[in-house]
Amino acid sequence: MASEPVRLSQRYRFSGDFELDAESYTLRHAGRVLKLERIPMEILLFLADQRGRLVTREQIVEKIWGQGVFLDTDNGINGAIRKIRQALKDDPEAPRFIETVSGKGYRFIAPVETGAEPEGESAEDGRPGAAGEARLAAETASDGTGYRRWLVLAGVVTIAIGMLAAGIRWSRTRARLGAETARPMLAILPFTNLTGDAAQEYFSDGLTEEMISQLGSLDPQHLGVIGRTSVMHYKNTQTTLSQIGHELGVQYVLEGSVRRDAGRVRIAAQLIQVSDQSHLWSHQYDRQLTDLLAVQSEIAEAIANGIKATLPGQGSSRAARREGAYATTTSYEAYDLYLQGRYFWNKRTGEGFQQAAVYFQRAIETDPNYARAYAGLADTYGLMSTWYVVPQNEFMPKARAAAERAVEIDQGLPEAHASLGLIAENYDYDWARAEKEFRRAIELNPQYATAHQWYAEFLAWQGRFEEAFAESEQARQLDPMSLIIATDHAALLYYSRQYDRAIAQCRAVLDMDPSFEGAGTFIARSYEQEGKYAEALAEIDHWRRHWTWAERTYVYSRWGRTEEARQSLAKFEKSTSPTSASRTAASLLAYLGIEGHDQFIARLERAYTEHSNAVVVLKAEPMYDPLRGDPRFKELLHRLALGP
């Protein structure tokens, strides 16, 4: 779009009693403020500014998100339009406000009155004021086309005026500055380890994660905090603050360093506003290690107040601590062991999980009432099971016991509730309990990206894709550099049969980390469903993992190359897998293409009996589409509460 949006006023009234105020960023109706999230509100403002004109989806993307942004903007637009229509009670089949132009975009069609200028001409620029607009509209609408001609005339006038008023821009993007009313975003960069000992990295990384947790829990409605994975992307790099601000969509950055020795800790931290690189707050703390927990709370509160002081109409005030925002311990030794456990858990490898479990167990032994250590152990056993590192029947009950103990100690611990949701979904097949726990985790900490990620998976496996994409987008906004969150988003695209977009999303992940195997999985599977079997085989062979022969068997079966499928199956049968659970899951893929499906159904029943999480995708997985008419498959879906 060549020109700036037509901004005749800062306030619009349409259909008599709907009032949209760009200055206060609110939508009011019948004396009530209607709840709209940031993106839907910005799109509504944009459409109202361009009323009567076709606004393409590309123009919406450029105006709201900017060019080259790493987001699933199509689903973002679809979800936003749906929420706008819900707020306005607008029927897409018979619209009063927003008309969909199939394959092109949207048009705001309701007559609009503006409420900021006097009748006649605006004192600022000679444009028609609110009453003048209404009168012009009424006078020119008699032939059915006059109002549209008036809109064109208004647009021409506005283009000329826009050259004089170019400084008044309406650019509400992810990079919005804190002076605006949407909540500002903060990135806590990895604290620099000044001990000179690489073995102390867990401590500086742990301090970073703890600050993210505490700041994210203080006031999530008014301060957003980027997740750990994304900020760790900038560890030991020379990336400028301006670039970090652009890539993460943040207005504030916290930099810090930590030195620990001889029972003392020195923490230095400074809060910087990205827009002008100004230092809003800085401080240095020299304390006993035993006082570290109190220091973290002190720093978090000081930062929250420092940011609030920069916002219009707000000064420093004590930030309210939310219920269950973070559970702690009086034992520094237990806390230190917990930090080491999270350090290894964040590696997301089989060996890392094993080491994490050891440290969490030691933390529990040191302080048997340390809820976060139990939650960490539950996270560890849960992911070890769902990733087939260990037998599910042995470790999922251990994960459950740890999570339930964490909740028993502290009912407000979001990590524990998220783990309970993961267990209920992947082991118990209890969808109602899983949803309850995921929603509780998000309620306790709306900025817990992993809870949004896991809940998005849950929704996708239920076939609730619109909700799934909304949750996935939340996770990506909170942790935009997370490879696993981005890959899970690609999985949602795959499950919703958007194969080209799934491949593009996976390629974007691999651009960030060419060694991230999970992204390759969904590229291969998308190619398979598109019938691009040679491309799928090339992707499978590139990664060469223990599932390779099972994957090759499936592709050759789909391709109709029976002999190659038999040869691959024979090699799969002779191959070894890390665990029996992994073997069971891989066998489903290997036998899926076998004629008659008898052997596949037998293995599917075995997976169900073993409580394998391989069956939770049955409703959504495209590979299973050829079986949906099989009574045995339908009956299993019924037992899983995934079908009628």
SS (H, E, C) 356-386: HHHHHHHHHHHCCCCHHHHHHHHHHHHHHHH
The lowest-confidence range among 3-12, 352-361, 382-391, 429-438 is: 3-12
DSSP H/E element including 107: strand 105-108
Q: Per-residue confidence at 310, pLDDT binned at 50, 70, 90? A: low
Which of 31-40, 49-58, 256-265, 604-613 has the largest mean confidence? Answer: 604-613
Band of the pLDDT at 585, cuts 50, 70, 90? Answer: confident
Residues 457-467, mean pLDDT to the nearest whole number: 94
Q: What does the pLDDT read at residue 8?
A: 38
Q: State which amino acid sits at residue 522.
A: F
pLDDT tens-place string over residues 158-196: 333 333 232 222 233 333 323 333 678 899 999 898 887
Averaged pLDDT for residues 444-451: 91
pLDDT at residue 357, rounded to an integer = 95
- 225-266 per-position pLDDT tens digit: 898 888 988 888 888 888 888 888 898 998 888 888 878 888
- Which region holds residue 422: left if phi is over 0, alpha if psi is between -120 and 50, else beta? alpha
What's the longest Cα–Cα distance across the chain? 86
Among 85-94, 419-428, 559-568, the minimum mean pLDDT is found in 85-94
Q: Is the pLDDT of residue 137 over 80?
A: no
Query: Is the model's pLDDT at 317 over the cut of 50?
Result: no
- Per-residue pLDDT reduced to its tens digit, 388-436: 888 888 899 999 999 999 999 999 999 999 999 999 999 999 999 999 9
Contacts of 458 (CB under 8 A, 6+ apart): 421, 425, 431, 434, 435, 438, 468
Read off the pLDDT of residues 360-373 as tens digits, 9 standing for 90 and up.
Answer: 999 999 999 999 99
Average pLDDT of every residue of the chain: 79
Q: How confident is the model at residue 35 (pLDDT cuts 50, 70, 90)?
A: low
| pLDDT in the model for residue 15 | 64
Give pLDDT, residue 19: 81
pLDDT of amino acid 280: 81
Per DSSP (E only), the strands in 198-301 are 224-225, 252-261, 264-273, 278-288
The pLDDT of residue 617 is above 50: yes
Q: Quick one: pLDDT at residue 524?
A: 94
Name which residue leads in pLDDT, 380 or 199. Answer: 380
Where do the domains of the chain lie, and which CATH numbers do they carry?
11-162 (1.10.10.10), 185-322 (3.40.50.10610), 546-644 (no CATH)
